[in-house]
Amino acid sequence: MTAPAPAHAPTRTTVGIVGAGPAGLLLARLLHASGIDCVVLESRDRGYVEQRQRAGILEQGTVDVLRESGAAERLDREGLPHDGIELRFDGRAHRIDFPALTGGRRVWVYAQTEVVKDLVALQLTHGAPLLFEAQVTAVEDVESAQPALRYTHQGVERRLECDYVVGCDGFHGAVREAIPAGARQTFERGYPYSWLGILADVAPSSDELVYAHSPRGFALLSMRSPTVSRLYLQVPNGTDPADWSDERIWDELDARFALATGDWKLARGPITAKSVLPMRSSVTEPMRHGRLFLAGDAAHIVPPTGAKGLNLAVADVTVLARAFTALHRSGSTELLDGYSATCLNRVWRAEHFSYFMTSTLHTAPEQSPFDTRLQLSQLDRIAASPHAAAELAANYAGLPLV
């Protein structure tokens, strides 16, 4: 039997949001600003959510939405704007100038953990209810006009009636699983390599991200702040981070970033964290079933090479918030009805770009010399052709929402 809910536990809302990652939190923020009531349910505690390491690159459009929602004060103060990236291959370096190639667009380095902290603080102070350690156990009445979320919070089983449910709870989340298997189709691709990622207490050795193609495998130089570096190495699937000593990691990074000429050198420092990130692509279609909607990782996953994951999630909920606002203000369901198609157009472009960056820059196991020459030919074209460089820059800095 469901126990009576205490006064602070809502039993009815317009939009029930499952998941307090960037997608769920930003959607709640946007809905609250439009006067639409919602409740956010998150299975983990606040500390876990705010420390969950994920993406760190924000597209121009993502920054614009965060600013419009009032969630960019610290981003504007502490974020690192970047006007390009560097490609390294065949002992050479070539810079892609985003503003020059995209009409002024750029990206920002600002970790997902910080985006989440900012949104959580706003939500708890000025927003709709946000319940941590609220485990959704069932999504009920999914075929009806009034679905419900059954969840456990503070040891009590509760039920939240909703007009709509939005799943921002990841690929294995309760909302995606509530859509009947025959009503959804998932397209997937696996990759035969992973990333070994490290955090190091050392100033970044470059002012912008460096993507390196090497016969030894891919490497990426990124950063979290002016004093903290974030770096990645391509490694075989199943790699144990414990098998990589700090010295081995730095030596391998040096080898993969090496240039044929010049005095550039990778700065070393204490490594404070190591982890292995598997890589895969996934898209679930459609992103709507009745009054259930999917957003972010619940609908799609991209390999991190193209820096699209967090930005796709923001694009999804921006489109969805506009649709709910139109419904709230005019009663029109046109934008809600078009939500899945609108988002999937952008999702598949981002999937293709992420695949392109991944397949062009990584060295597959037992890769043939022919395939390597194809990769180098493509990188040569990007370096030589403004049209090819502009295509890369436009996708990296972010395509329009529609």
Element (H, E) at 123: helix 112-126
pLDDT at 108: 96
- How confident is the model over 136-170, as pLDDT tens digits? 999 999 889 999 999 999 999 999 999 999 999 99
pLDDT of residue 214: 96
Band of pLDDT at residue 295, cut at 50, 70 and 90: very high
Q: How far apart are CA 15 and CA 37, in angstroms?
A: 7
Per-chain mean pLDDT for the chain:
94
pLDDT bin (cut points 50, 70, 90) of residue 126 is confident
pLDDT, tens digit, 9 for 90 and up, residues 176-195? 999 999 999 999 999 999 99
CA distance 246 to 399: 38
Q: Report CA dihedral (14, 19, 23, 24) to the nearest 10 degrees.
A: 30
Q: Which residue has the tokens 């196991």?
A: 365
With a cut of 90, say whether residue 324 has pLDDT above it: yes
**What mean pLDDT comes out for the span 326-352?**
97
CA dihedral 88, 303, 353, 111 (to 10 degrees): -80
- Is residue 4 pLDDT above 80, yes or no? no
Using alpha carbons, select from 231, 237, 235 the residue that is nearest to residue 216. 235
Domain covering 12-80+111-188+280-357 assigned CATH 3.50.50.60 in the classification: yes
Q: What is the pLDDT of residues 361-398, one digit of tens each?
A: 999 999 999 999 999 999 999 999 999 999 999 999 99
The residue count of the chain comes to 402
Find out whether the peptide bond into 286 is cis, omega within 30 degrees of 0: yes
Are 33 and 123 in contact, with CB atoms under 8 Å apart?
no
What 3-state DSSP class applies to 261?
Answer: coil
* Fold match between domain 12-80+111-188+280-357 and domain 191-279+366-397: no
| 202-246 tens-digit pLDDT | 999 999 999 999 999 999 999 999 999 999 999 999 999 999 999
pLDDT for 6: 46
Higher confidence at residue 401 or residue 279? 279
The residue type of 70 is G
Report the C-alpha gap between 339 and 320 in whole angstroms: 7
- 24-77 residue pLDDT tens: 999 999 999 999 999 999 999 999 999 877 778 999 999 999 999 999 999 999
| Domain map (residue ranges) of the chain | 12-80+111-188+280-357, 191-279+366-397
Query: Would you give the distance in Å from CA 42 to the centre of its chain?
Result: 18
Summarised one tens digit per residue, pLDDT across range 234-285 is: 999 999 999 999 999 999 999 999 998 888 899 999 999 999 999 999 999 9
What is the pLDDT, as a whole number, of residue 7?
A: 45
DSSP 184-221: -EEEEEEEEEEEEEEEESS--SSSSEEEE--TT--EEE
> Cβ distance 332 to 323 under 8 Å?
no
CATH tag for 191-279+366-397 (out of 3.30.9.10, 1.10.287.110, 3.40.640.10, 1.20.1260.10): 3.30.9.10
CA distance readout (Å), 239 to 175, 193, 201: 32, 9, 23
- Please identify every residue annotated as catalytic: 82, 211, 304, 308, 396
* Per-residue confidence (pLDDT) for residue 8, from 0 to 100: 67
CA angle, corner 28, sides to 23 and 32, nearest 5?
Answer: 150
Query: What is the predicted pLDDT for the residue at 174?
Result: 96
Question: Encoding tokens for residue 247?
Answer: 């010295």
Residue 372: per-residue pLDDT: 97
Residues pairing with 57 in the sheet: 109
What pLDDT, on the 0 to 100 scale, is given for residue 128?
Answer: 78
Q: Could you give the strand order of the β-sheet that contains 57-59, starting from the edge strand earlier in sequence? A: 57-59, 107-109, 80-82
